[in-house]
Amino acid sequence: MDKFIFESYAGLEGRQLLEPILRDFSGRAAVVSSFGAESAVLLHMVSEVDKATPVIFLDTGKHFWETLSYRAMLIDRLGLTGVRTIAPDEADLAAGDPDGTLHARNADQCCHIRKTLPLQKALEGFDVTISGRKRYHGAARATLDFLSIADGRLKVEPLAGFSALDISAYMKAHDLPAHPLTEIGYFSIGCEPCTSAGGNAADPRAGRWAGTAKTECGIHWTHNGQDLTLPSRARH
Task: Name residues whose C-beta falls within 8 Å of residue 127's C-beta, 6 or more positions apart in sequence.
Answer: 1, 25, 28, 29, 153, 154
Contact criterion met (CB below 8 Å) for 37 and 186: yes
Helices (H), 10-123: 14-24, 39-49, 65-78, 90-96, 102-105, 107-111, 117-122
Question: What's the first-to-final CA gap in the chain, in angstroms?
Answer: 19
In 110-214, beta strands by DSSP E: 128-130, 147-150, 153-156
Q: Which of 110, 191, 194, 217 is catalytic?
A: 217
> Please, is 5 exposed, middle or buried when counting C-beta atoms within 10 Å of its C-beta (0-12, 13-18, 19+)?
exposed
**Residue 110 falls in the annotated catalytic set:** no
Q: Which residues are catalytic?
A: 217
